[in-house]
Structure 1
Amino acid sequence: MSAHQKEEEEDKDENIVANKNINSESVAAAEKSGVPKRKKRRKRRRASSSEAARDELDMCRTVQQRYGAKRKVQDDIKEALFNPCTGEIFQPSSYARMMARSTEAHLNRMLQPEPPDDLVASNWLCAFCLKPSFADEQGELYGPYFVRLSSECQPPAELLAMPASCQTKMLVKSEPAEPNSSVTTSAVHRGHHSKDEPKANIATNSNSSNKVPKHKNSSPKRRRSATAKSGVQGSLDIWLHGDCALWAPELFLVGGRLPTLQLHIQQYWKQKCLVCSGVGATIPITYSHNDDPPLVSATPSISGSSKTVSGVERRHFLHYKCALENGYRLNSLTYVCRPPM
């Protein structure tokens, strides 16, 4: 090693020793002056996903312990108590809970419409698409909305819990038999006579002196035929999917009721779907001038779109689910249905 290199190393060692002495002197001076040392800043770590989940779980437990605690048994009043000084009566806790449930049930009953006395037995299906609740992801059914049935307004057979003929027979059987009338009794209880029963008794009763003259239309056979022609009579509870009711024209919800349902339900049941040919189609198809609709016989409608081709007026309707599954364009802003592109 040369003399020059040795001198450089000695200079470096001297500089290091001098720096150490300066640092030690500054530290000693700071200690004497009483200035506190600067603390090192700790970088705050972001909470990991596991820590965040743990914090949320702790918060849920705290809320549940505070607000979801079970009722304390020692706070319950098991028997009625009477305070003779104030004349106050303390009812049992079970009585208070029972009265609260009764009041709540009474309020819920007041908000629901009362079913009519002549309600016809029906199936729990949508009155438009004739499908049950949550069928094809359509959600639950809303109702009931009651409509009056008549000879002109008859529901589809799928809505009735029993066929219309059975409903007619029940109406005829429910009529009271007239006094001194053996013919009416035998007609109501038809099928209960044995094959070997003699017919002389019936002939004797019909020719007896106690026979009461009746009007020509008062026989049960005539009444049954007249009832069959008029169809099912009474009231029917209507249930609807939310989308089926929303897309039905001239159907409005006012105060939890559908005031125009009675007026248009008959026409809804007459309109057939262009896709599935089922009744209850409510969505009219709006055609443009370039569209060529399929040839289907014209049916009367409420506000259905029509197009005249070769002098024939055509109106086509769809169920909401049929329109959605077959690519029809449904505009939720204007509630207009157009054919696929």
Structure 2
Amino acid sequence: MPPANPEKKKKKRVKKKKQAKDDDFNEAAGIVQKLKQRYQNKKEDSEVIKDPIIKNGKLLHPTRYLSIIERGQKAQQSRLQVPDPPENLIQTKWICALCQRYSCSDNLGDLFGPYYIEIDTTKPIPTFLFADGITASTTVKQSIEIYLHGRCALWSENLYFFGGKFPKLDERLYKYWETLCELCKERGASINYKANCYAHFYCLDCLGYKFDNSNLSISGISKTAENIIV
């Protein structure tokens, strides 16, 4: 029997190896294409509409305008995804549970919430959150709704936002409500700005304290306590 042709065998092996590479390349290319379709946000220049135009009798809005509308719709859906209110809920004033100021007061920004906590009658009840004539029951378990300024919450001692909620929010709030602000003497002081001294974000900001978001440090003072508007 004649010996097998080594060149022929070598060619067959090369062909199989090349085919395996092609299969791997095609598979990788398919994965890349799927990832691009899912995560790529940038559009080609030919797909971007810079100014409103009429095409085939239809008004086409600019791409940037449509993106803004889409973000607004997603934000609205996020606001609607809030937990169901508990039973025996006492509706409170639409003010910050810490600095006691309204939404968008000065540079405080909007209020976030509502968050719900149960009233603990053994601790100081934040009556400043209640409308006139509203009191908490001493026999029935009740809850209240809470709103917070983003900056007031961010700089509060031991208050963290995780998984769409504030862990141990009720425990933290009752501690803040027991603490008087060193500057305005109102309850809800949550920011430890120097040794054993607590204040509201608003009061410190009015005094000219600087808040460094990069390392969450507070420093500097350029005004006097008389400049605080209370």
2:112 maps to 1:121: no
What is residue 5 of structure 2 aligned with on the other side?
none
Contact 1:129 1:280 in 2 (8 A): yes
Residues 236-275 of structure 1 mapped to structure 2, 5 A cutoff: 236-275=144-183
Counterparts in 2 of 1:157 and 1:258: CA distance versus 1, 3 Å: same
Contact 1:125 1:133 in 2 (8 A): yes
What is residue 120 of structure 2 aligned with on the other side?
150
Cα drift, residue 284 of structure 1: 0.5
Query: 2:175 aligns to what SS in structure 1?
Result: helix
Q: CA offsets, 1:137-187, max 9 Å, x none?
A: 211100111111112344322201234xx535xx5xxxxxxxxxxxxxxxx
Counterparts in 2 of 1:66 and 1:284: CA distance versus 1, 3 Å: same
Residues 1-341 of structure 1 mapped to structure 2, 5 A cutoff: 59-62=50-53, 66-68=59-61, 111-163=81-133, 166-167=134-135, 227=138, 233-286=141-194, 305=195, 315-338=196-219, 340=221
Amino acid of the structure 1 residue aligned with 2:198: F
Structure 2 alignment gaps of length 5 or more: 1-48, 62-73, 223-230
Amino acid of the structure 1 residue aligned with 2:149: H
Query: 2:165 aligns to what SS in structure 1?
Result: coil
**How far apart in 2 are the matches of 1:253 and 1:136?**
24
Contact 1:126 1:132 in 2 (8 A): yes
Cα drift, residue 257 of structure 1: 0.6
Amino acid of the structure 2 residue aligned with 1:60: D
Cα drift, residue 111 of structure 1: 2.2
Query: 2:112 aligns to what SS in structure 1?
Result: strand
**How far apart in 2 are the matches of 1:108 and 1:280?**
28
Q: CA offsets, 1:85-117, max 9 Å, x none?
A: xxxxxxxxxxxxxxxxxxx9xx76972100001
**How far apart in 1 are the matches of 2:114 and 2:152?**
15
Amino acid of the structure 2 residue aligned with 1:337: I
**How far apart in 2 are the matches of 1:120 and 1:337?**
35
Q: Between the two proteins, what is the percent identity of the paired residues?
A: 29
**More relative contact order, 1 or 2 (CA 8 Å, 6+ apart):** 1
**How far apart in 1 are the matches of 2:216 and 2:122?**
29
Structure 1 alignment gaps of length 5 or more: 1-57, 69-103, 172-226, 287-304, 306-314
> As a proportion of its length, which structure holds more helix?
1
Contact 1:284 1:337 in 2 (8 A): no
Cα drift, residue 124 of structure 1: 0.7
Counterparts in 2 of 1:110 and 1:337: CA distance versus 1, 3 Å: closer
Counterparts in 2 of 1:317 and 1:112: CA distance versus 1, 3 Å: same
Cα drift, residue 278 of structure 1: 1.2
Contact 2:52 2:60 in 1 (8 A): no
Q: CA offsets, 1:250-307, max 9 Å, x none?
A: 1111121111212211011111112111111111122xxxxxxxxxxxxxxxxxx3xx
Q: CA offsets, 1:177-218, max 9 Å, x none?
A: xxxxxxxxxxxxxxxxxxxxxxxxxxxxxxxxxxxxxxxxxx
CA-based RMSD of the aligned residues comes to 3.0
Counterparts in 2 of 1:141 and 1:63: CA distance versus 1, 3 Å: farther
Output the TM-score relative to the length of structure 1.
0.42
Query: 2:152 aligns to what SS in structure 1?
Result: helix
Counterparts in 2 of 1:233 and 1:154: CA distance versus 1, 3 Å: farther
Output the TM-score relative to the length of structure 2.
0.60
